[in-house]
Structure 1
Amino acid sequence: MPLVKAPDEASTKTFYIETFGCQMNVHDSEKVIGTLEQQGYTKVETEEAADLILYNTCSIRDKAEQKVFNRLNDYKKLYKQGKRFGVLGCVAQQEGEKIFERAPYVSLVSGSASYRKLPEMLVQLELGGQRITGLDDRQTDQTFETEFTARSNTHRGYITIIEGCDKFCAYCVVPYTRGKERSRTSTSVLAEARRMADAGYTDIQLLGQNVNSYRDTEGKRSFAELLVAVGEISGIRRVRFTTSHPRDFTRDIVEAIDAVPTLCDHVHLPVQSGSSNVLHHMQREYTREWYLERIAWIKSARREISMTTDIIVGFPGETGEDFEQTISLLGEVQYDAVFAFKYSPRPNTPAITMADSIPEEEKSIRLQALLDRQREWQRANYAKHIGQEMEVMVEGYNHARGQVMGRTSQNKTLNFTTRQPILPAVGSYQQVRVTQSFPNSLAGEAV
């Protein structure tokens, strides 16, 4: 049976996909969409209009996982109408065939490392197959590369340069759902970046669970050298990368940002805790002092580099003193944004065997205290930009407020007004003078 049906049949094959979780999942969905469209499927905007309903899942936190099963339960009635359901991504890899028991109307379960087999799995679905699985061993060396990526933004695009994780932090399920670390060749990454630049993309974001753990299998370039090479491609104006791990954050990354103007002056460097004791139990394999040394590199750069981080509160055994060390770290680093979460046990992780000694109420109190303190630092940090001129990439319009919405190279939202009769195009770049600041955004006027 051919993988692609005749054109007159293609229009009858429709699919809906909903994505949960991180930018890696968003980009995975772009590749899944491109693959499905290449196989003759048409994307629709609702579950009711689709023949095939797909949920690309996240299992980092319990809430994200529950959302998927709630969504499946909400729409299971459509199964009687002949709709087919598929669960993709991290929850699929984590739960495997148990999903069929929990949701018998699901026909397809596939982890992210198996997306390259999607055409074959689609054929099985079309032939009436049930309980079709794509579940890979974490030792796979294969990555999911496809020229059929259906990018949702025509100006800003993602490139996955490394998949999987070998860090095995005590709280994290990613090594078990995404497999071991495996990098693409720098040649393939640069070829994709050039194709994107030729297609009009100006803002490129390099992705990986630990993006700076990248190891060029050709041995040609380090991660910092790859950043520089992407940043030097004609037509590209901004290069970002996420997410970094402190253990692999090297000084040459800062030197590259200093040397190449197209590399964005923003680093997201998750710390998770300000206490060396908690970091030890988290199996992060660095100390507070090690982390702050890397922060010192960033602060010593010639460019002013914005810093953001991730923090977990209420990890098993975290004392009040440990938590205060995290609060003190906020003041020492002065992040521009913090993404903070309460610890929740995840399947298969070492931390699940630890006594979760922090009551849920106390976790909530600590989380709010951290967010309140961080809000003070952000308010002060953002206020420093008043009077500055900053380059903004236009992302859209808020007609109710009469503002153009945009983002700076420091990854800060900067909404602005313009006196020009024609609004600047989405994807264009504008010089904006900052006139107001808020804890999470800036406002200004086009120069």
Structure 2
Amino acid sequence: MNAHDSEKVIGTLEQQGYARVQEEDAAGLILYNTCSIRDKAEQKVFHRLNEYKKLQGEGKKFAVLGCVAQQEGEKIFEKAPYVSMVAGSASYRNLPEMLRRLEAGEERITGLDDRQTDLTFETEFTARSNPHRGYITIIEGCDKFCAYCVVPYTRGKERSRTAASVLVEAKKMVDLGFTEIQFLGQNVNSYRDPSGRMSFAELLVAVGELPGIRRVRFTTSHPRDFTRDIVQAIDDTPTLCDHIHLPVQSGSSAVLKAMSREYTREWYLERMSWIKAAKRDISITSDMIVGFPGETDADFEETITLVGEVKYDAVFAFKFSPRPNTPAVTMADSIPDELKSERLRILMDRQREIQREHYGRHLGEMQEVMVESYNPSRNQVVGRSSQNKTVNFSTAQIAQPPIGSYLSVRITQTLPNCLVGEAIADAEALPFVALQRVADFVVLN
């Protein structure tokens, strides 16, 4: 989501007459887009800002955008006095006006929105970095208020775009040659069309049926809003990717209650049963937190058994770290960091075993793979399957297949984190469009 926010910010600035450069030394304005979902990410922000201090004397101006900007507000000016602008993500629509004030000589500009705003950041000037795979934010903000999560305080309440505006943007992207579209949202399946025209599943199908589209993805879903019609839509619409990311966070109902997730282990497993009963083989991935305050050995063991029962294709796991303004800040963090690290190691070791075994089901399969890059040292092409798995493959072609093209690949080897194969025959090769940008500003994620 931060990467797509940067694309929209870049497009907005370019429309205002700014140009982009790749190096800080060549920039007159440096915008730093930030994340505060975990403590480590937030620490990096101020470490990086300190590195930029030496550039102040060169007349450069600095802006801090995103979640840390919204969270820290004007305190950033105290920690980094050389910063000229602080703007949360909900105020990006005001960037042209803020930039005019900056150019007029104003030294400290703040764009911080109340979380109750109903406005979304929609722009037709998105500077998409990939000419084949593009993002569309369909819902902003979050109303879930999980005990550990800072997002509702930094990105505001949930507010959805109309289905009509999403379809217009998707159609423009397909007309420009994009073959893969990914819907984004803090809780993307919490989407509610303000016009009442379409459900989330119906919007997925509508975009999946656009002529020229090859793949439609979405992330990240919330179990509380995950409905059976989403699985049905994937089953019925071949262009909808057979991959669902459904964060569970813990396998213990007691810990889930403490986290204010408002579902139980059994509720989550019921949704897993819907996915596993689908006609298509749908890949499942998840997020997990270990060491949440009060998590016992028995609670952690329930997470391990859940992993074994679901057999995820990938798990993104993290040690709990308290975030500002969240209820978890006031909870006694009774889990020593050493134990958190040990539990994280145990969880990822178990998941690696499962992936090693579970990926084996793809051996000998034919997979359609979208080309993403090349690995010259291994003489391999790197691509991604519809299930969002990395596929490293060889090809008998003398020329490398174009980035963004689709090939049929036979899987000859399975590893814990990727598939290995051989290209059999080209699918429709899509033309590679080279994008060149000239600029005198830089946006850093």
Give the TM-score taking structure 1 as reference length.
0.94
1:319 correspondence with 2:296: yes
Aligned counterpart in structure 2 of residue 163 of structure 1, from 126, 133, 140: 140
How many Å separate the matches in 2 of 1:186 and 1:130? Answer: 40
Aligned counterparts, 1:55-94, within 5 A = 55-94=32-71
Q: Report how far residue 81 of structure 1 moved.
A: 0.8
The equivalent residue for 2:440 is none
User: 1:10 aligns to what?
Assistant: none
State the distance in 2 between where 1:39 and 1:314 align. 47
1:279 counterpart letter in structure 2: L
Per-residue CA distance 1:199-227 (angstroms, 9 max, x = gap): 00000000000000000001000000000
Q: Distance in 1 between matches of 2:32 and 2:40?
A: 15
1:337 maps to 314
How far apart are residue 382 of structure 1 and its match? 1.3
Tell me the secondary structure at the aligned position of residue 105 of structure 2: coil
Q: Distance in 2 between matches of 1:68 and 1:46?
A: 18
Which residue of 293, 299, 310 maps to 2:276? 299
- Which residue in the other structure is 1:124 paired with? 101
C-alpha separation in 1, matches of 2:404 and 2:147: 41
Match of 2:256 in 1: 279
Number of residue pairs matched? 424
Where structure 2 has 5 or more consecutive residues not aligned to the other structure, the ranges are 425-445
Measured against aligned partners, the alpha-carbon deviations of 1:333-384 in whole angstroms (never above 9, x if no partner) come to: 0000000000000000000000000000000000000000000000111122
TM superposition shift of 1:422: 1.8
Letter in 1 for 2:367: M
Larger mean Cα displacement after TM superposition, 43-52 or 171-180 = 43-52
Counterpart in the other structure of 1:12: none
Residue type of the alignment partner of 2:408: Q
Pick one of 169, 173, 185 that aligns with 1:208. 185
Q: Distance in 1 between matches of 2:155 and 2:136?
A: 17
Deviation of the 1:312 alpha carbon: 0.2
SS in 1 for 2:279: coil
1:409-420 mapped onto 2 (5 Å cutoff): 409-420=386-397
User: Deviation of residue 250 (structure 1)?
Assistant: 0.1
Candidates 97, 107, 119, aligned match of 1:142: 119
CA distance, structure 2, for counterparts of residue 105 and residue 66 of structure 1: 18
Rounded to whole Å, the distance in 2 between the matches of 1:99 and 1:396 is: 38
Question: 1:111 Cα shift?
Answer: 0.3
Aligned runs of 1:19-38 on 2, under 5 Å? 24-38=1-15
Gaps of 5+ in 1: 1-23
CA distance in 2, matches of 1:47, 1:349: 35
TM-score, normalised relative to structure 2: 0.95
Paired residues for 1:41-440 under 5 Å: 41-440=18-417
Deviations 1:364-422 (A, max 9, x none): 00000000000000011112211111000000111111111100000000011011122
- Percent pairwise identity: 76
CA–CA distance in structure 2, aligned partners of residues 65 and 236 of structure 1: 37
Q: Which amino acid aligns with 1:399?
A: P
* 1:42 Cα offset (Å): 1.1
CA–CA distance in 2 between the matches of 1:26 and 1:422? 31
| Residue deviations 1:242-301 (CA, integer Å, cap 9, x gap) | 000000000000000000000000000000000000000000000000000000000000
Which deviates the most, 377-386 or 408-417?
Answer: 377-386
Q: Distance in 1 between matches of 2:338 and 2:20?
A: 43
* Cα distance in 1 between the residues matched to 2:85 and 2:268: 42
d(CA) in 1 for partners of 2:259, 2:283: 26
Q: How far did residue 446 of structure 1 move?
A: 0.5
Provide the rounded CA distance (Å) in 1 between the counterparts of 2:356 and 2:14: 45
2:134 counterpart letter in structure 1: G
Q: For 1:89 and 1:240, locate their aligned partners in 2 and report how far apart those are by CA, in whole Å.
A: 24
Distance 2:107 2:370 in 1: 46
**What does the per-residue CA deviation read over 1:38-59, in whole Å, with 9 as the maximum and x for residues that have no partner?**
1111111121111001110000
Distance 1:55 1:365 in 2: 34
Deviations 1:96-152 (A, max 9, x none): 000001110000000001000000111111111111010000000000000000000
Alpha-carbon distance between aligned partners in 2 of 1:66 and 1:74, rounded to the nearest angstrom: 13
Letter in 2 for 1:353: T
Report 1 or 2 for greater relative contact order, CA contacts < 8 Å, sequence distance ≥ 6.
2
Q: Give the whole-Å Cα distance in 2 for the aligned partners of 1:350 and 1:55.
A: 28
- 2:227 and 2:12 map into 1 onto residues whose CA distance is 36
Counterpart secondary structure, 2:364: coil
